[in-house]
Every structure is written in C-alpha cells, then in structure tokens.
Copies of this chain bind each other. A is one copy, B any other.
C-alpha cells in the first residue's frame, strides 16, 4: 500500500465536480441563446439563476478550505481552481446578457464553432474534475484543452475578419465584437483552469 501524505477529503472533489457541472449547464444556455427562436428574456433569466448556483458552489469550496485544517492540496491552489471555474461561468453569463441587452438579431455562423469549442471544454473539464482525487490521467485533459483554445483562437480571428469584411455596419460590428470577444474569454478561462490543474498535478504528482 502507498503512503498517503494528504487526507482523503472526498467533498472537495465532489464540489469541483459540481462546479464543472454548472459550466456544462451554462454552455447549454449560451447555445440556446444563439438559436433564432429563443425566448431571450427567459434564457437570460435561467442563465442568471445558473450563475448564482455556480457562485454558491464556489463559496461552499472557499468555506470548506477555511474550515479544514489539512486540505487535499495547497490552499492557494484550491482557491485558484475554484475561482478559475467561477470565472468561466461569469464570462458565459456575460455573453448571454450582452445578447439580450444589445438586441442582437443575428450573428455570423462561425460563432457556432466557438460555442462547440466551449461545449467540448466544458464536457472535458466535467469528466476530468473527479480525477483530481487520484491525480491520474489528467495530462490528456490539459493538452486537449490547450488544443481547443488554439482552435478557438484561430476561429476567433476568422470571425473578426468576417466582421470587418464590410458586410456589417460599424455599430453592429461593435456589438458583435464585444460578444465574440467575451466568448473567447470564456474559452481562455477554461484554459486557465486547465493550467491550474496542470500546476497542481505537477506539484502533487
């Protein structure tokens, strides 16, 4: 039998898994918001509720860190991971809110590609969080997230080129650019989470 230097504190892993599950739900709402037939007010309201639920999970993690003497990995890494996951949700909530507030009618089709990248990031993050417990099989996760972020970055530049092509009026470009950049920030935020997991795994591994 191996030696355990860190206690088994299963609740931390459950809470990180819960945080990632909120992100899977959040991406679904972003996708719904982009469909032409969406009731935008209703989707935005459900997004606010989802973002609130994610906040609750973040606070539960932070309360748990503050009330636990020996944590499964470094306190500052738990904070970084919890707030990293929370940041993804904040970006996605902002995307949905902007689509509502700016009265956006239609978006270039390439935007759907970014939502697909987000969906893959969320699914991958959700299946990887429970593996923090064993610290096994995590490398594929952060490599794949980095690959997805690269793909998202390339797609983002193509979307920007399309927005600047002359097809859209300047004011419409301004609105769409804001939304498209926030989508990219959400993808970047998934990469930050993966980088945090990599650092934890290197330290603890």
Contact B160–A164 (Cβ < 8 Å): no
Kindly identify which residue among B66, B157, B164, B174 contacts A164, using a CB–CB cutoff of 8 Å. Answer: B174
Oligomeric state, in copies:
3
Q: How many residues in A have their beta carbons less than 8 Å from beta carbons of B?
A: 21
In the bound complex, residues from chain B placing their C-beta under 8 Å from that of A169 are: 170
Which of B103, B164, B175, B202 contacts A175 (CB under 8 A)? B164
User: Which 6 A-B pairs give the minimum distances between C-beta atoms?
Assistant: A170-B170, A101-B161, A170-B171, A102-B164, A164-B175, A101-B157
> Can you report 22 A-B residue pairs in the complex whose CB atoms are below 8 A from each other?
A66-B202, A97-B157, A98-B157, A98-B160, A101-B157, A101-B158, A101-B160, A102-B160, A102-B161, A102-B164, A103-B164, A160-B178, A164-B171, A164-B174, A164-B175, A166-B171, A169-B170, A170-B170, A170-B171, A170-B174, A171-B173, A174-B177
